[in-house]
Chains A and B, each alone.
Chain A
Amino acid sequence: MMWIIGVFIFWLLAYFLNVWLANSAWHKTRIVKLAVPAIFGITILVVWEGLVRGLAVPAVILPPPSMIGARIMQSLPILWGDLVQTFVKGALSGYIIGCGAAVLTAILIDRSPFLQRGLLPVGNFIAALPIIGTAPILVMWFGFDWHSKAAVVVVMVFFPMLVNTVQGLAATDSMQRDLMRTYAGGYWNTLFKLRLPAAMPAIFNGLKIATTLALIGAIVAEFFGSPTRGMGFRISVEVGRLGLDMVWAEITVAALAGSLFYGAIAMIEKGVTFWHPSQRG
């Protein structure tokens, strides 16, 4: 009972603190902008911990955050091994191959309006499909190790990336292209000096969408078969053994990896497309 009352009081305090901060004169400062979501997040963790303890929820249903934290600390080598298997070997290699292939394909079909009119609708259509369903097929073709996961990731990121790049390559207007022509800039000069730089905002948009897809693809593909390591493997095995603290630990690592991956791409975007209005703030 003490836990529940304590949690309730904490929640009330945090709530009023947040309302006060958000409506105070400093709500536009950087610190408050970081503090408000941080307080919200901490409140959720505290309420979670308190309710699980106060209501005596069994750990096989919902482990408290403290237990998950302890599990992460104890299992760092396992978590690291799973991260390398799933993220570095599976997701990252598939991401690089898939996005690279999509950009090259986009540049190739960009020369032919006929192919563009044909491939773009098909690509858009495929991008909306549950491509994750190809995972069992690709696991059969490429085996249980990371190659099949990378293949799933390639298929998943290819079409969103293709569509975005083709759109980006169309971003220049005829004035700019005419200027390149008056400079006697040939196709390749125009491509590298004008059209690819102008396409960067769209390309990075695709790259950012693809980060999440890559992790999802690599994890879900492991549900269809994997060697005895990897995040998806660990999740499905520990769920079967009701080791939910380990599942939550893997999910925490996946969330961190996903956010960092996205953040890294966003940082690169900031450097590459510094000229774009959305980056000048």
Chain B
Amino acid sequence: MLMMTRTLFPILTVIAAIMLIWYAASVGMNKKWTYDQAGRAGVEVSFTEMVADTWAQERPVLPAPHQVVAELYRSTVQKNITSKRSLVFHGWITLSATLLGFVFGTGMGILLAVGIVHNRAMDMGVMPWAIASQTIPILAIAPMIVVVMSTVGATDLLGKETATALFGYQPAFMKGILPKAVIAAYLSFFPVVVGMVKGLRSPDHMQLDLLKTYNASKSRTFWSLRMPSSTPYLFTSLKIGMAAALVGAIVSELSAVPLRGLGARMLTGSYYGQTIQIWAALFAAATMAATLVAGIGWIERRSLAKMGMTK
């Protein structure tokens, strides 16, 4: 109960304030259109009519929250999930690319971190570049990767023939997934390298010396000491990597062919002035990011508790 009043109430207040500001802003930003329409039709609108209209326009400058929620409901629950108008369909396209890239990026990142910790030449040669790469807007290469991989023809997870032979059809998410996954992997790679190197180095001299007195081999030290003590760092970097992978997948969808996924929904929305569609895609992406990060956080709490490492 104390917890509730201490944190939940303030959070709800802040959210309520945001909602209020949002509704007020959508009146302010949309009223020009309402007055223009009324002026053209030659009718007077009262204040209440004006407010009601600003919250119900088809292409508002700023859609009201309930319009976004209604659009989310329309495009998830009321649409068949295989339909091209379903946000579930587009969300799954983005999610699959994100997850594929995330698994590869973090896997490679952990492997490189293990190499860096055990090989001084790699440490001195690669580590400065891994750190410097975090100051670089890597995302800028996304359009190029997409185009180059389409030129080479490496866009689908399994070729159309292989997929058909295996499943009887080519699952929709496999089409055009590879460039997006490569960018997602690339973005999640470097944070994981940097975080894991820190984690694998976190055992102090006392602990390392203890294992030396046990005559533990290098691999034994790794599995029994370095790996367990790097777990908190692993989860922190996994969270960063997951968020980065999702951003990578979304941005690469801006230039990917076929135009599908949450990023593509935002792009087509901005072409056709479908603001409500952009906001719905944005909220879907935000929900996805929050769920993925919270999922990792849940696994983190469970495993750290099991390992006796809770803070």
A and B bound? Answer: yes
Contacts of B121-162 to chain A: CB distance below 8 A: 121, 123-129, 132, 134-137, 139-141, 143-144, 147-148, 151-152
B10 CB contact (under 8 Å) in A117, A135, A236, A239? A117
A18 CB contact (under 8 Å) in B124, B267, B289? B124
Residues of A within 8 A of B266 (CB): 133, 135-136
B120 → chain A closest CB, angstroms = 4
Determine if A133 and B151 form an interchain contact, defined as CB atoms under 8 angstroms apart.
Answer: no
Scan B262-294; emit 1 where CB is below 8 A from any A CB, else 0. 110011011001010011011001100110010
A239 CB contact (under 8 Å) in B129, B144, B289? B144
A62 CB contact (under 8 Å) in B18, B148, B255, B267? B148
Interface: B183 (CB within 8 A): no
Determine if A139 and B270 form an interchain contact, defined as CB atoms under 8 angstroms apart.
Answer: yes
Contacts of A152-201 to chain B: CB distance below 8 A: none
The number of chain A residues with a CB under 8 A from chain B is 66
Contacts of A95-150 to chain B: CB distance below 8 A: 114-119, 121-122, 125, 128-130, 132-137, 139-141
Interface: B7 (CB within 8 A): yes
Determine if B136 and A212 form an interchain contact, defined as CB atoms under 8 angstroms apart.
Answer: yes
Determine if A37 and B290 form an interchain contact, defined as CB atoms under 8 angstroms apart.
Answer: no
Nearest-neighbor residue (CB-CB) of A223 within chain B? B254
CA distance A119 to B11 in the complex (A): 7
Determine if B6 and A117 form an interchain contact, defined as CB atoms under 8 angstroms apart.
Answer: yes
CA distance A244 to B147 in the complex (A): 10
Q: Given A117-B10, A121-B11 in contact, is the A61-B135 Cβ separation under 8 Å?
A: no
Residues of B within 8 A of A117 (CB): 6-7, 10-11
Determine if A33 and B124 form an interchain contact, defined as CB atoms under 8 angstroms apart.
Answer: yes
Nearest-neighbor residue (CB-CB) of A60 within chain B? B151
Determine if B61 and A235 form an interchain contact, defined as CB atoms under 8 angstroms apart.
Answer: no
B13 CB contact (under 8 Å) in A118, A136, A244? A118
Nearest-neighbor residue (CB-CB) of B146 within chain A? A239
Could you count the A-B residue pairs with CB atoms below 8 Å apart for me: how many are there?
Answer: 170
CA distance A248 to B247 in the complex (A): 21
Q: Given A37-B129, A130-B289 in contact, is the A239-B267 Cβ separation under 8 Å?
A: no
Interface: A202 (CB within 8 A): no
CA distance A224 to B238 in the complex (A): 29
B250 → chain A closest CB, angstroms = 6
CA distance A258 to B132 in the complex (A): 9
Determine if B152 and A40 form an interchain contact, defined as CB atoms under 8 angstroms apart.
Answer: no
Determine if B135 and A39 form an interchain contact, defined as CB atoms under 8 angstroms apart.
Answer: no
Residues of B within 8 A of A128 (CB): 239, 243, 289-290, 293
Q: Given A18-B124, A115-B10, A255-B136 in contact, is the A140-B273 Cβ separation under 8 Å?
A: yes
CA distance A239 to B263 in the complex (A): 18
Residues of B within 8 A of A94 (CB): none
Determine if A235 and B278 form an interchain contact, defined as CB atoms under 8 angstroms apart.
Answer: no
A9 → chain B closest CB, angstroms = 18
Most A CB atoms within 10 A — which of B6, B29, B135, B148? B135
Chain B positions within 8 Å of A, measured between CB atoms, are: 6-7, 9-15, 18, 29, 61, 120-121, 123-129, 132, 134-137, 139-141, 143-144, 147-148, 151-152, 239, 243, 246-247, 250-251, 254-255, 262-263, 266-267, 269-270, 273, 275, 278-279, 281-282, 285-286, 289-290, 293
CB pairs A–B below 8 angstroms (5 shown): A130-B246, A141-B29, A235-B143, A244-B144, A244-B148
